[in-house]
Amino acid sequence: MKKSKTRLFIEKKISQNLLIYIKEKQHHFLKNVLRVKLNDAINVFDGVTGEWRSQVISISKDKTALKIEKKIREFETQPDIWLIFAPIKLFRLNIIIQKAVELGVSKFIPCKTEFSNFDKLNYKNLELNAIEAAQQCERLDVPKIEKIINLDMMIKELPDDRALVFCDESDTNLPSIYDELKSNLNKYLKWSVIIGPEGGFSIEERELIKKQKNVLHVTLGSRILRSDTAAISSLFCIQSMVDKRQPVLK
């Protein structure tokens, strides 16, 4: 059997012998970038049923037709980790989305803060970015991206049974993120990490976050990290400890 040329996310539940018509950007990628040919193998996944092997059965000007042949991987859940972040410049935000998908984030929650410089997001661009990252890193699902929400409302709605990891650059005397995670690993099955904007959180916002009973108030070290670096560093710490231990809630 031919090796698959790529993986594609399909926004449709997949089943045996299903015919799928690939159009627009994905069609352009298959036809003009990969230059697929008839009978080439393409792996596809839908975020629900697992991963499937398909075969190219036709290529036209505006679409590529695939026929589903067989399932090659059963669906696997990801750890239940949310990333709550203040929007930043698009280039760095795209880095956060890409790397967070690779590190197993199950949901993105953009959050408006006092020092946020950006509150208008191109959700379609972020979703496409997340899909591309999931295709490349062998994930079987694509994280959900929520609409932007004010910090106080997000805090109010965050479930009490979900740990909130707050990486606070203003206090280096806090316990390290690894120490706090080790101490609370058996206490929580659901996790979240909150990352502020480039100007950090205001004093009032820090106090609001710190008084939550499910918060883990930690430091990432003595250096002041950019928002994207802080997000990736904290997610790596969490993922390295809790990966494969808890399911994503559907």
Q: What are phi and psi of 22, to 5 degrees?
A: -90, 125
Ranges assigned E (strand) in 75-208: 81-85, 107-112, 144-145, 149-150, 162-167, 190-195
Q: In this predicted structure, what is the pLDDT of residue 1? A: 53
The pLDDT score that the predictor gives to residue 250 is: 41
Given a cut of 80, whether residue 156 has pLDDT beyond it is yes
Q: Using one digit for the tens of pLDDT, what is the confidence trace for 176-231?
A: 998 899 999 889 999 999 998 888 889 999 999 999 999 999 988 777 778 888 89
- Burial of residue 112 (CB within 10 Å: 0-12, 13-18, 19+) is middle
Give me the sign of the Cα torsion angle 111, 112, 115, 121: positive
- The domains located in the chain, with CATH, are 7-74 (2.40.240.20), 81-242 (3.40.1280.10)
For residue 50, the surrounding DSSP H or E stretch is strand 50-59
Q: Which residues contact 102 (CB under 8 A, 6 or more apart)?
A: 133, 137
Average pLDDT over residues 107-114: 94
pLDDT by residue (tens digit) across 48-73? Answer: 999 999 999 999 999 999 999 999 99
227 within 8 A of 198, measured Cβ to Cβ = yes
